[in-house]
Amino acid sequence: MPSLDIALRPARLDDLDAILSLERGEGYETLVGRSTRREHEDMFAGGRHAYFVGESERLEAFSILRDIDHPHGNLYLQRIAVAQPGRGVGARFLSLLIDWAFTNTKAHRFYLDCFDDNFRAQAMYGKLGFRRDGLLRQAYLAPDGRRRDLVLMSLLRPEWRV
Ligand SMILES: CC(C)(COP(=O)(O)OP(=O)(O)OC[C@H]1O[C@@H](n2cnc3c(N)ncnc32)[C@H](O)[C@@H]1OP(=O)(O)O)[C@@H](O)C(=O)NCCC(=O)NCCS
């Protein structure tokens, strides 16, 4: 299948339907966080978060960044998901987002946490230069009461485009 040409743009409020459905993709419930429409609207309006989408003919990916103006330059990749995994969209979209982040903010450290068994996501981050900082043991309380480990990963500005 040919790879899609993805364009990055800031999300608009009228993208929320598509974003809600992207983060509720089949099988995603144990891979990525999800929020209610109201929570998204609050984050959208709150000034601490920045939403982005990736589109070709339709919306293919979205992401939420947090702490764009962090005093220590720690920019957090709060969420990312694509419509159809395994087609190169995530890596293309995230590489555009990394370029946007290091070009348009003063971030020094672009970081994320990820469930330790989400190997596809970790492979994508590793491919784009993120390194593993460590493991947040039992940091996440799942809805069923289980605790899950989170892998912490980051990409530093000096490592960008190296
Ligand atoms: C994680 C996610 C954004 C990655 O995007 P994607 O479009 O599926 O990934 P890509 O096709 O760009 O693949 C990037 C790399 O990941 C790896 N990869 C792809 N599919 C994989 C799989 N099934 N298992 C392990 N690694 C895989 C490959 O190394 C690939 O690079 P390569 O094709 O050059 O070998 C996407 O799968 C997704 O939305 N998953 C559900 C939500 C989620 O997990 N979000 C991240 C939370 S931390």
- To test ligand 1's pocket by mutation, which of 124, 125, 150 has the most ligand atoms within 8 angstroms of CB? 124
| pLDDT mean over 92-107 | 98
Minimum CA distance residue for ligand 1 atom 15: 124
In this model, does residue 2 exceed pLDDT 80?
no
Beta carbons within 10 angstroms of residue 69's beta carbon: 11
Indicate the average pLDDT of the chain.
96
Domain boundaries, the chain: 7-159
Identify the architecture of domain 7-159 in CATH. Answer: 3-Layer(aba) Sandwich (3.40)
Ligand 1 atom with the shortest distance to the CA of 118: 44
Residues 6+ apart with CB under 8 A from 60: 4, 6, 54, 82, 83, 84, 89, 93
Instruction: Kindly give the distance from the C-alpha atom of residue 56 to the centroid of ligand 1, in angstroms, as a whole number.
Output: 18
Task: Please give all residues whose beta carbon lies within 6 A of any atom in ligand 1, as ranges.
Answer: 28, 31-32, 80-82, 85-91, 114, 118-121, 123-124, 127
Tell me the whole-structure pTM to 2 decimals: 0.96
Least confident of 2-6, 33-37, 77-81: 2-6
pLDDT digits (tens, 9 = 90+) for 16-60: 999 999 999 999 999 999 999 999 999 999 999 999 999 999 999
Residues 6+ apart with CB under 8 A from 78: 33, 49, 63, 64, 65, 66, 112
Beta pairing class for 109-115 and 74-82: parallel
2 vs 116: which has the higher pLDDT: 116
| pLDDT mean over 102-109 | 98
Quote the pLDDT of residue 83: 98
